[in-house]
Amino acid sequence: MIELQHLTIGYGNRAVLTDINQTIPDGQMICLLGANGVGKSTLLRTLSGFIPPLSGKVLLQGRELSSLSLSELSRSVSVVLTERVEVPNMKVVDLVGMGRSPYTGFFGTLSSEDRDIVGKAIEMAGIASLAGRTTDTLSDGERQKAMLAKALAQQTQVILLDEPTAFLDFHAKANTLRLLSQLAHETGKSIFLSTHDVEMALRLSDILWIVLEGRILSGTTDSLTQDGTLKRFLEPFELSDLQTSHIQGS
């Protein structure tokens, strides 16, 4: 569980989002929605520990994020980023094995236990058939799943994903989000992701976080529909019919 208390995030003197008070519970998939530039990536970077908060606290299982050592952090939070990882000669199984490096010794050699964990992570991500392929031969969707398997092998309570559905085709998007939702429910991990795929996020997420007018509003799709937040979020883009289709669908 992650608690955000009076959290202000940004770079240097420039605050992007101020006074955030939210909770990311265990076992749920949370989708972060918002227009470009509202601070989605900044929030993810702050939660990953890449940049410090400007003020306020991020509590990870009750402990302040900034008080964790880099090694503790690497065993608590894993990330899937938008950077394209393409290493010739690196097999998917080796890439996923990199997720074990917070646990391995001086040269990073995997023990048989580590290899079991890697195998399970590959299976959970549904890419067993790709294990022997090199990363430069994967499609974008396959690569995204390989990075997810790396995050699973890292065995962290929290997985943060920055726009995991960008660059994917429609089927791969739905497939990825369903997989993430299923993983959150089955493993009890907190899975937190930013996305621009509003319709799928409305349908598949357990909790939505919407960045609107400099604030983060959270709730289930239904509760955000009822209090009018979704309407306010979608209207400027003339997409409010999505909301209706969701209600009709559900």
Partner 1 sequence: MNYKLKLLTVLLALLAVANVLWGSLDIPVRDVWHILCGGEVEDHPAWSIIVLQGRLPQMLTALLTGMALGTCGLLLQTAFRNPLAGPSILGIDSGANLGVAIVLLLLGGTASIGSLTIGGHLLVIVAAMAGALSIMSLLIILGRLLHSGVMLLITGVIISYVTGSIIQLLNYSATEQGVFSFVMWGMGNFASVGPERLPVFCILCVLGLLLALLLIKPLDALLLGDRYAENLGVRIGRVRQLLLLVTGLLTATTTAFCGPISFIGLAVPHLARLTLGTSSHRTLMPATMLIGANLALACNLLSTLPRDGSLIPISVITPLIGAPVVLHVMLGQNRNTGI
Q: How far apart are CA 42 and CA 29, in angstroms?
A: 19
Decide: is 48 part of the binding site for partner 1 (CB under 8 A): yes
Q: List the structure tokens of 1.
A: 């569980």
Decide: is 8 part of the binding site for partner 1 (CB under 8 A): no
Decide: is 59 part of the binding site for partner 1 (CB under 8 A): no
Is the torsion defined by CA of 110, 82, 202, 157 positive or negative?
positive
Q: List the structure tokens of 137.
A: 């031969």
Q: Where in 187-226 is the site for partner 1 (CB under 8 A)?
A: none
Given the complex with partner 1, which of 101 and 240 has the nearer CB atom? 101
Collapsed DSSP state (helix, strand, coil) of residue 18: strand
Collapsed DSSP state (helix, strand, coil) of residue 188: coil
First to last CA, the chain: 28
Given the complex with partner 1, which of 100 and 203 has the nearer CB atom? 100
Given the complex with partner 1, which of 95 and 168 has the nearer CB atom? 95
Contact residue for partner 1 among 37, 52, 108, 228 (CB under 8 A) = 108
Q: List the structure tokens of 170.
A: 């429609």
Element (H, E) at 55: strand 55-60
Decide: is 51 part of the binding site for partner 1 (CB under 8 A): no
Nearest approach, Cβ of residue 199 and partner 1 (Å): 29
CB atoms within 10 A of CB 54: 18
Q: Where in 227-246 is the site for partner 1 (CB under 8 A)?
A: none
Contact residue for partner 1 among 28, 46, 78, 181 (CB under 8 A) = 78
- Contacts with partner 1 by CB under 8 A lie at 48, 50, 70-71, 73-75, 77-79, 81, 83, 85, 87-90, 94-95, 98-99, 101-102, 104, 106-109, 136, 154
